[in-house]
Amino acid sequence: MSTSNQSRIVASISVVGAGRVGRAAAAAFRAAGYEVHGPTVRGERIAPADAVLLCVPDREIGDAGAAARGAAPFVGHTSGATPLVEAGVDFGLHPLRAFVGTEDADSFDGVGCAVAGTSPDALRVAEELALAVGGRPFEVRDEQRAGYHAAASIASNYLVTLQAAAETVAAASGLPEGFRSHLVPLVRGTVENWAAHGPREALTGPIVRGDEATVQRQRAAVEASAPDLLPLFDELTDRTRSLVGTKGMPV
């Protein structure tokens, strides 16, 4: 669902930052019918607009925000972790997705967007922008940001780290190069099951079945082939047992 041009608070946007998010945001806002300036890079003049959206690294938000003051009545950022008060901006719009640089004008469609504002009008701007590009806005207050961003990092960043660990164990066990392609359908199916049924019902494998002998064989294989990953394996095993509500064999 998008907002109509007639009901919008802002008509023009200056996008600051030509990285992955900045390029995707500029393309999405243009497709949604906004007058878009940028994305600009550091040192470039910020064109006057109804709103400025800072798509820059967290450490650069303060300087970029100061430079944007005077260019628009509303200045916002796309940071998930940085509180609005700390950043000195009016609103926040953080798309809850991973950008890899190949996104197009539909890159926000259906994506949850954490929005916030230092005033009711600023919050309305953030919600409007999210809705206009097909996003699904939900409010995150400053005091919730650290926990929100930690949850997002666990779900996205640490999932990639976990898959890297799986590839390491597979390679160290002598499985063929390109084994990742066989893991991908498993991971996709698991994520789809988690999305549809929640974590407990999505779980499969030896811990759910109570097959501790298999768990111990897995542990021995990790210890032999990739011993540096053994603490991670043990922690994940313990957390999975807790989720299932079972106790395992002592190690």
Single-letter amino acid code for the residue at 166: A
Q: Is-contact 45 64, C-beta < 8 A?
A: no
Same domain, 58 and 97: yes
The tally of domains found in the chain comes to 2
* Entry pTM: 0.87
3-state secondary structure of 205: coil
Domain holding 199: CATH number?
1.10.1040
DSSP-derived secondary structure letter, 11 = S
The pairing of strands 112-117 and 136-139 is parallel
Residue 132 lies in a domain: yes
Same domain, 101 and 56: yes
Same domain, 15 and 119: yes
Domain range for 169: 156-244
Average pLDDT over residues 87-112: 90
pLDDT at residue 103 above 80? no
DSSP-derived secondary structure letter, 143 = G
* pLDDT band for position 249 (cuts 50, 70, 90): low
Predicted local distance difference test score (pLDDT) of residue 6: 63
Q: How far apart are the first and last CA of the chain?
A: 53
Domain holding 62: CATH number?
3.40.50.720
3-state secondary structure of 207: helix
Same domain, 204 and 125: no
Same domain, 68 and 136: yes
Query: In which element (H, E) is residue 77 found?
Result: strand 74-77
Last residue of a domain, one of 107, 141, 175: 141
* pLDDT band for position 1 (cuts 50, 70, 90): very low
Residue 149 lies in a domain: no
